[in-house]
Amino acid sequence: MEFLLAALLTLSLLLRGPVVLAASIAVRDTSSPDHLSKHCFPALGFVTPQRTPEDFELEHWWCDPSTEYAFVGFSYEVTACQSRQQLIEEFRDIRYHFNSRYVRLYGACDRENFYDDIVEAAWQSSLGVHALVWFGFNGDDVWIGRRDALFSSLHSNPRAKFVTRVVQFGSEPLFDNVLPHDQLAEQVILAKANLSSLHIPVTVSELAYGYQERGGAQDVLDAIDSINIHMLPFFSQNASTANESWPLVLNDLDWFIEHGNGKKMYFDENGWPSVTSPSVQPNSPLAVSDVENEQQYFILLDRHCEYLKEVVGGGVGWFAHIYSDNQEPGYGIYDSSGHLKFPFHPRTFC
Ligand SMILES: *[C@@H]1O[C@H](CO)[C@@H](O)[C@H](O)[C@H]1NC(C)=O
Ligand SMILES: *[C@@H]1O[C@H](CO)[C@@H](O)[C@H](O)[C@H]1NC(C)=O
Ligand SMILES: *[C@@H]1O[C@H](CO)[C@@H](O)[C@H](O)[C@H]1NC(C)=O
């Protein structure tokens, strides 16, 4: 590429100009909107090359976070330890059927080299990844081994840093009280140091209430690079229908705007369930769970696209929680037999 440009420049000296014009048009096509760019990963127009990029290409690799508002992709649970082939097929579906730019991992698979399969599937489908160090719900130390396995893959797999947009600690470590907030903040700082040579940022995947019930946990908010928010208004004590949940969304979002120092924000675990289950119980007698409300919640976010685009930090990008009912009952876009529960074509820009 550099050789080609040098050759074109030399040629242009001979021809006086027009070739340079042709070259610059080839390098930057300003006619397509940013989210469709062919020039930054993982914009919808970008296709990953066959080769692995060189390290120096990382500098201009990622799309500007301000293009990542509206729908960006799905939460995807990996506790089933999907095969590499299944990951490839489903990541392609996530990318090309729904115009996703990212997949946000949820749960854990402790199979050796599993993250390398994620990287390969993400590479083949031109999808970025919000990776996850999963604490689980048992209050034990298995997350330490998961962190080490993930970090070692991030360092050793030459493609990993080109698909991994951020590493999250989750899910809801403050709400679940798996670590005191000062220790969680310290873990974030250590992870940032470990991953700094790879330019991979670090965050925590958490509810507003998780921070609030730990005195605000400002040390954690200060340490994280982006704010990955769990937006699950069905659980609010004021919940009724999804269509009426915008004040509940704003209530939590405003808290992060006030305390988040202008950092980039995502709703990374975000949705409304179509059914309740033992682990999905409302806190309001008026909360309605059915497929129509599941759909209405995403329509609500689409309706507020222009608002979410203007939020401090480059707008709020949102994930749909979750890809399939097999991964979390009631929250899936697909039901447990693989059928779409409702038409789903959320806006990727506005
Ligand atoms: C990063 O963390 C991994 C796993 O804990 C460790 O093996 C590696 O030495 C660390 N690297 C740096 C640069 O801190
Ligand atoms: C949802 O709320 C909006 C605005 O409040 C209203 O215009 C619309 O009709 C409602 N949709 C449904 C399905 O209730
Ligand atoms: C929930 O309802 C109560 C009582 O009406 C109200 O005071 C409170 O502000 C509401 N909270 C939200 C987040 O809307």
Per-residue burial over 289-327, b if 16 or more Cβ lie within 10 Å, else e, is beebbbbbbbebbbebbebbbebebbbbbbbbbbbbbeb
Q: How confident is the model at residue 19 (pLDDT cuts 50, 70, 90)?
A: very low
What domains are there in the chain, each with its CATH number? Answer: 68-334 (3.20.20.80)
Q: Is the pLDDT of residue 14 over 90?
A: no
How far does the centroid of ligand 2 lie from the alpha carbon of residue 297, in Å?
11
Hey, whose CA ends up nearest to atom 5 of ligand 1? Answer: 148
How far does the centroid of ligand 2 lie from the alpha carbon of residue 270, in Å?
20
How far does the centroid of ligand 3 lie from the alpha carbon of residue 314, in Å?
28
Q: What is the pLDDT of residues 38-82, one digit of tens each?
A: 899 999 999 999 999 999 999 999 999 999 999 999 999 999 999
Residue 277, helix vs strand vs coil? strand
Cβ count near 288 (within 10 Å): 17
- Shortest CA distance to 204 belongs to which of 182, 218, 225? 225
**Which ligand has the minimum distance to the alpha carbon of residue 167?**
1
Q: Is residue 238 within 6 Å of ligand 3 at its C-beta?
A: yes
Please give the sequence-ordered ranges of beta strands (E in DSSP) within 211-326, or none if there are none. 227-231, 265-270, 316-320
Q: Is residue 326 within 6 Å of ligand 3 at its C-beta?
A: no
Return the residue matching tokens 């309605």. Answer: 288
Q: Is residue 243 within 6 Å of ligand 2 at its C-beta?
A: yes
Check residues 198 and 34 and name the one with the higher pLDDT.
198
pLDDT value of position 162: 98
pLDDT value of position 182: 98
Q: Is residue 151 within 6 Å of ligand 1 at its C-beta?
A: yes
**Which ligand has the minimum distance to the alpha carbon of residue 255?**
3
Hey, whose CA ends up nearest to atom 10 of ligand 3? Answer: 238
pLDDT value of position 216: 98
Asked whether the CA dihedral 337, 339, 344, 348 is positive or negative, the reply is: positive
Atom of ligand 3 nearest to the CA of 238: 1
Hey, whose CA ends up nearest to atom 12 of ligand 3? Answer: 248
Hey, whose CA ends up nearest to atom 12 of ligand 1? Answer: 194
How far does the centroid of ligand 2 lie from the alpha carbon of residue 110, in Å?
44
